């Protein structure tokens, strides 16, 4: 993954290759020396809490913001010198629905196609309507659509100019599980066709659908790689504790040697730590109690991200731009 700019960014194997990106607003650092490499045709998950700098980073990548320092190559173009070229080859779906609610689906797509000066505009609009199942509703006003249908329309608008890179900022917020699943099926189809996708999300199940991911908090990159690599890098041991009245023993568990975090998972507790031997002794002790069962399980992404955030402490407050 760690290829040089000369052999990867310029010759096309990397869609995104940024290093040391830094951006401040009003004296507060929103993104702090952020680096990331994304292979062409990959689905790359971008995770982090609200205010962590995800949106600011996305805006620098697509040429909407100029970094205070750092360098980057996106689709073979320099982010400092070639912002306009990058914008033409990127589709950016914002977290908030940003199309015209008093225009129909078809009118919105036609407007976006005009903005990009798309050739054979009518044919491309018709293809976009058909491709995302919007043709039967093409005359419906965008403002009357449900969250899932607005999501489809926003994605169609992102694709109308045939971009090589999609930047999706919390695209499934506020939509139902069925719409989320359909959306991800579209994303995997697009990646299979060669389009690179960078998607920010809060959902762990969506992160697991990505080929690789990065986790950012307080403007800093905390972890990156494939899901397996991110989990392995954390070095966590995790145990699942089941039994009666678990919430009453949770405070006691938190005070045991080797226990770094305790989190409810359905009807069980996940107990994790990096001191594997100490954690095992604590779990053996708690399992001797009547009605309590403890068994070691594989650490998951959520365990890892709770661990990463715990390591940061309270941190400095950030404002997402």
Distance CA 54, CA 283 (A): 37
Q: In percent, how much of the chain has pLDDT > 90?
A: 68
Compare 35 and 4 and report the one with higher pLDDT: 35
Residue 25 pLDDT greater than 50, yes or no = yes
Residue 63 and residue 248 in contact, taking contact as beta carbons nearer than 8 Å: no
Residue 1 pLDDT greater than 50, yes or no = no
Interval 236-247 mean pLDDT: 92
Residue 14 pLDDT greater than 50, yes or no = yes
CATH class for the region spanning 232-312: alpha beta
Architecture of domain 5-228: 3-Layer(aba) Sandwich (3.40)
Interval 105-109 mean pLDDT: 97
pLDDT in tens, 113-132: 999 999 999 999 999 999 89
Interval 235-262 mean pLDDT: 92
Q: Where are the domains of the chain?
A: 5-228, 232-312
Q: How far is CA 209 from CA 43, 46, 199, 205, 281, in A?
A: 8, 12, 11, 7, 35
Interval 301-318 mean pLDDT: 71
| Sheet (strand 237-243) strand order | 261-265, 268-273, 237-243, 292-297
- Mean pLDDT over the full length of the chain: 89
232-312 matches 5-228 in CATH topology: no
The two three-digit tokens of residue 321, written as one number: 């731009």
How many alpha carbons fall within 13 Å on the CB side of residue 272? Answer: 24
Residue 8 and residue 17 in contact, taking contact as beta carbons nearer than 8 Å: yes
Compare 172 and 105 and report the one with higher pLDDT: 105
Residue 10 pLDDT greater than 60, yes or no = no
Residue 233 and residue 223 in contact, taking contact as beta carbons nearer than 8 Å: yes
Determine the pLDDT at residue 6. 46
Interval 248-267 mean pLDDT: 91
pLDDT in tens, 62-97: 989 999 999 999 999 999 999 999 999 999 998 888
**pLDDT-derived band of residue 245, with 50, 70 and 90 as boundaries?**
confident
Q: Could you tell me which residues are beta bridge partners of residue 33?
A: none
pLDDT in tens, 205-234: 889 999 999 999 888 899 999 999 999 999
Residue 224 and residue 36 in contact, taking contact as beta carbons nearer than 8 Å: yes
- List Cβ neighbours of 318 (8 Å cut-off, separation of 6 or more): 28, 30, 51, 52, 53, 218, 219
Determine the pLDDT at residue 321. 44
The predicted model scores a pTM of 0.84
Handedness of CA 62, 185, 50, 45 (dihedral sign): negative
Q: How far is CA 317 from CA 68, 136, 218, in A?
A: 20, 46, 8
Residue 7 pLDDT greater than 70, yes or no = no
Determine the pLDDT at residue 173. 79
**pLDDT-derived band of residue 320, with 50, 70 and 90 as boundaries?**
very low
Q: How far is CA 258 from CA 232, 254, 299, in A?
A: 18, 9, 16
- List Cβ neighbours of 177 (8 Å cut-off, separation of 6 or more): none
Determine the pLDDT at residue 313. 59
Residue 289 pLDDT greater than 80, yes or no = yes
How many alpha carbons fall within 13 Å on the CB side of residue 32? Answer: 15
Determine the pLDDT at residue 213. 94
């Amino acid at each position: 993954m760690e290829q040089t700019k000369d052999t990867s960014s310029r010759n096309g194997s990397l869609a995104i290759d940024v290093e040391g990106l830094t951006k401040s607003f009003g004296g507060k650092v929103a993104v702090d020396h952020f680096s990331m490499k994304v292979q062409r045709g990959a689905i790359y998950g971008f995770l982090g809490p609200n205010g962590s700098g995800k949106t600011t980073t996305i805006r620098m990548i697509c040429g909407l913001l100029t970094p205070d320092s750092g360098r980057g190559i996106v689709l073979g173009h320099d982010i400092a010198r070639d912002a306009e070229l990058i914008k033409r080859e990127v589709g950016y779906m914002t977290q908030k629905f940003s199309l015209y609610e008093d225009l129909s689906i078809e009118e919105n797509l036609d407007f976006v196609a005009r903005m990009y000066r798309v050739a054979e505009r009518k044919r491309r609009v018709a293809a976009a309507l058909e491709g995302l199942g919007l043709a039967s509703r093409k005359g419906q006003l965008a403002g009357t659509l449900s969250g899932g249908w607005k999501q489809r329309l926003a994605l169609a608008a992102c694709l109308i100019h045939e971009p090589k890179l999609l930047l999706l900022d919390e695209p499934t917020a506020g939509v139902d599980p069925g719409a989320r699943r359909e959306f991800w099926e579209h994303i995997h189809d697009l990646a299979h066709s060669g389009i690179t996708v960078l998607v920010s999300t809060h959902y762990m199940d969506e992160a697991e659908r990505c080929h690789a991911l990065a986790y950012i908090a307080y403007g800093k990159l905390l972890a990156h790689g494939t899901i397996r690599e991110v989990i392995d890098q954390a070095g966590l041991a995790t145990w699942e504790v089941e039994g009666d009245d678990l919430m009453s023993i949770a405070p006691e568990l938190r005070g045991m040697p080797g226990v770094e975090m305790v989190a409810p998972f359905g009807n069980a507790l996940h107990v994790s730590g990096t001191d594997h031997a100490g954690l095992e002794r604590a779990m053996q002790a708690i399992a001797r109690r009547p009605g309590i069962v403890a068994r070691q399980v594989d650490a998951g992404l959520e365990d890892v991200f709770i661990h990463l955030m715990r390591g940061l402490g309270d941190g400095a407050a950030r404002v997402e731009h």
